[in-house]
Structure 1
Amino acid sequence: MEFGIFIPSARNGYIISETSPQYSPTYSHMKEIIQTGEENGFSFALSLSALRGHGGTTGFWDDALESMTQMAALARDTTAMKLIGSVNILAIHPAIAARMAMTIDQISEGRFSLNIVPGGWHPRELETMNVWPGYEYNDYRWQYAGEYCQVVRELWEKGVSNFKGKHFQYEDLRMGPKPDHHMNIVCAGASDDAIQFTTKYADYSFRLAWGGKDALEGVVERFNAQMDEAGRTIRPYVALGVVMADTDEEAEAKLQNFIDNADLAAINYMLGGASTDSAQGGTSEILASMDTKGAVQMSTDFITGSPESIARQLDEWAEIDVAGYMLVFPDYVEDIKRMGREVFPLMKNFTPPKALQAV
C-alpha cells in the first residue's frame, strides 16, 4: 500500500480550527515536509489549487503557494517521490497546462501527474478573477473538463491540436517537445459526471474518505463496478487525516480540541460556496451536509491514536482496494517523522518505496 502527503500549501492546511497549528505556507516549509516524507517511507504528494481563501479568524487558505510552480521546485528537491500538481481549468489555458506539466515531468524525470480541478464548489475565487462563467457552469463543468483534457492529451501525444468542440475550438495549436512517455491525469471529483469523466480521460481518481471505513468500501465497490463497465482499471487515491499522540486518549482529545474551537466564520464561508453547486453526489454536496466535526476536517475522515493504534487502523484501511492514502496531519514534519519511525515499521500492509528498499 502506498502512502502519500496532502501538501498543506495553503494557510493552515486542512483543519479549520483556531487551535490547530497556525501557519502561512512557505516553500522552505513545504520542502522540509516533502523531503522528510521521502526519508520516512512516503511515495507521493499532491498539491491543491487555491486561488482565494475562506477568511475567518484564522485566515484559512488566505495565503497559498501556486501548485505547479511549487511542484516544479519540489521536482528538483526530491529524488523519487511521485508529484501531483493541480490546475484550475477555468484559470489556466489547456495549452499552458499541457506545457507546464510536460516541463515539470522533464524536471522530475517522469515523476509528475496533472490533477484537473474544474471548480464549482468555491465560485467566489473565480468570480473575483472574472473567469467564472456563471452558476449554470456546474451543470456542464465535467463536459468542459473533458474537452480541456482532450486538448491536453492531443498536445502531449501529437504535438498539435485541431480540436473543435462546444467549449474549445483550435486550429494548429502546437506544443513541443512532446513527452516521451504516457503522462497521467488525476481527477478530483466524486459525482456521477466526474466518474464518467474519469473513465474517459483520467489515470487516477482522487477522493475524500468520509463516513468511516465501511462507507469507503461501499464507494470503492461502486467505483470499481463503474470502471469495469467502462473497461478501465483506474484506482483511487484517498485523503485521510491522522492525529497522533503518545496515547489514544491524548490523540482523541487533541482532535476534539480542534473541533471545539472551530473557525465557524471560515466554515460558513466554505459551506456557503458549496451550497451553490447543483452537482449530485459530488464534493460540494458532501461539504454542504457537514456537521461541525466534518467541516473542521473538510469532509475527510480522521483516525486518532498512539503510533500502535494508528498502525493497526491504517492496516485495516489498507485492506480496501485503493491505490493509496494521501495523509493529512496537524504538525506535518514531526508527525511524518513519527510515521516513519513508529508507525510504518509496525504495519503489515506497508511496502517502502523502491528508493528506501535499496537502502
Structure 2
Amino acid sequence: MSHSSFTSPSSPWPVDLARPRFGVWAPVWGPFAAQHYPGDRFDASWEFNRRYVLEAERLGYDSTLVAQHNLNPNGHELAELEAWSGAAALAAVTSRIEIIAAIKPYLFHPVFLAKIAAQIAEIADGRFALNLVNAWYKPELEKAGVTFADHDDRYAYGDEWLSIVAPLTAGEHVTHQGDNFTIDDYVLAPADPSRKPKVYLGGESEPARDLAAKRADAWFINGQPLDVVRELIASVADRPRTGDPIEFGLSAFVIARETDEEAQRELELFWRLAEEDAPTLEGVFANADPKAVMFETFRKFPHIGTNGGTAAGLVGSYDDIAARLVEFYDAGIALFMLQFQPAEREAKRFAEHVFPRVAALLADRAEVAS
C-alpha cells in the first residue's frame, strides 16, 4: 500500500498516513440509482459535472471516473456527457484530483486516441488515466454501423489496441503489425513518460482477468461482498505478470447515516423506487451483451446503483462503513470508486463523517504497530 499526501491545506487526511484512495463517479448519465428520487432531477450537464468534481476535489477525494457512453443506456433521449472532451475540461479546471476517462477501443483508432490521451495528460500535469472497458451496451455500436464483436474477440482487440496506446502515450516510437492494426514508426509529441496515463481495466471474465494481469496498472472490481472480492483479487494477483504489482479498485454505491436504522430506511426507499425504474432496467439488460460476466454477477447479488452498487455492503452507520472500508483495504483494495444519490449531498456527508473515521482507525492501528 502506498502513502498518500496532499498539497491541499483542507485535506482531511494526515500527511503520510498509509491509506486507500477514494473517488467519485462523475454524473455523466444523470442519477446513479433511482430515476425518481424525490428532489433529485435528471442532470448530466457539463456544468453539474464540473461543479460536482470540483467539490469532490475540495472535500478530499482523490479520483473521479468519467464513464463513456455515446448513448445513455437509461434512454437514448436522455443526455450523456461525452467522456473525453469532458475529461479534458475537468483536467483544465481541477488541480489535484485524478481524472480517469473510460474508453471503448472500438470507438477510437489507438493512434488517435493516444494523441488525445497524451494531450489531456499534459493538461492535467500527470493526473490523467484511462479505464479500458471492452463494451457491453450493444446499441451504441450497432446503431452506428460498428460491429459489436464477440466477447472474447473484443478482449483480443483491446489487448492489441492497448499495446499501441500505452507506449505512444509514453513518447515511444511504435511500429506494429497485428490482426487489426498496422503502425509504421509512429511517435507523438507532447508525450512525456513521467505523465504516461495509468491504465485501469474493468471486466471480470477470464479474458478480462488475463488482460488486467498482462497490461493494466489497476483492475476495477464491481461491488460485491468481501469474501468474493478477496477471491477475485487472488485470481488476478496470481497470474503471470511483468513490472510492478497490479493495484485493485472497487466500485460501490454508499448509503451512510448516523445509525444503521437510518441507513436501512434509506435503502428501503431505493428499493421502492427501483420498482418504478424496473421497465428502464429491463431495457438496459435486454440491450447488454449476454456474455458480459458483470450481468451474471448482478443477478447473483441484487443491489442498488450500477456496477455492483450496494452489493459491496457500504450501507450502514458511519462507524460500520469505516470498518468495512478498512477490511476491503486490508484485502487489497487501493481505490474505492463511489456512487452517491443525491450526489452532492451524499458525497459531502461521506467525506465529513466517514473519512475521519477511516483515518482514525488506520492511525490507531499504525500507532499500535509502532
2:11 equivalent in structure 1: none
Quick check: 2:31–2:342 contact (8 Å CA) kept in 1?
no
**C-alpha spacing 1:50/1:290, structure 2 compared with 1 (3 Å):** farther
The higher-RCO structure (CA 8 Å, 6+ apart) is 1
**C-alpha spacing 1:139/1:222, structure 2 compared with 1 (3 Å):** closer
Q: Does 1:308 align with 2:319?
A: yes
1:155-234 matches, cutoff 5 A: 155-181=168-194, 182-210=196-224, 212-226=225-239, 229-231=240-242, 232-234=244-246
2:291 equivalent in structure 1: 278
2:267 equivalent in structure 1: 255
Q: Does 1:62 align with 2:81?
A: no
Quick check: 2:151–2:291 contact (8 Å CA) kept in 1?
yes
Partners of 1:152 and 1:296 lie apart in 2 by: 31
Q: How many residues align?
A: 336
**C-alpha spacing 1:314/1:155, structure 2 compared with 1 (3 Å):** closer
Query: TM-score, length-normalised on structure 2?
Result: 0.83
Quick check: 2:171–2:190 contact (8 Å CA) kept in 1?
no
Superposed CA deviations along residues 304-330 of structure 1, whole A, max 9, x for unmatched, are 223333323323333221221111111
Match 2:278 to one of 264, 281, 287:
264
Partners of 1:104 and 1:270 lie apart in 2 by: 31
**C-alpha spacing 1:154/1:315, structure 2 compared with 1 (3 Å):** closer
Partners of 2:183 and 2:356 lie apart in 1 by: 53
Partners of 1:71 and 1:349 lie apart in 2 by: 34
Quick check: 1:36–1:336 contact (8 Å CA) kept in 2?
no
**C-alpha spacing 1:171/1:80, structure 2 compared with 1 (3 Å):** same
Superposed CA deviations along residues 54-91 of structure 1, whole A, max 9, x for unmatched, are 34xxx499321111111111112221111111122111
Per-residue deviation at 1:158? 4.8
Deviates more, 1:214-223 or 1:155-164: 155-164
Over the aligned positions, Cα root-mean-square deviation in angstroms equals 2.3
Partners of 1:269 and 1:30 lie apart in 2 by: 26
The residue matched to 2:184 in structure 1 has which SS? coil
2:5 equivalent in structure 1: none
| Percent identical | 24
Quick check: 2:294–2:307 contact (8 Å CA) kept in 1?
no
Runs (5+) with no aligned partner, structure 2: 1-19, 364-370
Q: Does 1:85 align with 2:101?
A: yes
Q: Does 1:42 align with 2:51?
A: no
**C-alpha spacing 1:60/1:250, structure 2 compared with 1 (3 Å):** farther
2:31 equivalent in structure 1: 12
Runs (5+) with no aligned partner, structure 1: 352-359
Partners of 1:127 and 1:350 lie apart in 2 by: 48
Give the aligned residue type for 1:64.
E
Superposed CA deviations along residues 137-172 of structure 1, whole A, max 9, x for unmatched, are 323111100111112123234554331101112334
1:102 equivalent in structure 2: 118
The residue matched to 1:294 in structure 2 has which SS? coil
Runs of 4 or more above 6 Å deviation: none
2:342 equivalent in structure 1: 331
The residue matched to 2:255 in structure 1 has which SS? strand
1:355 equivalent in structure 2: none
Quick check: 2:253–2:304 contact (8 Å CA) kept in 1?
no
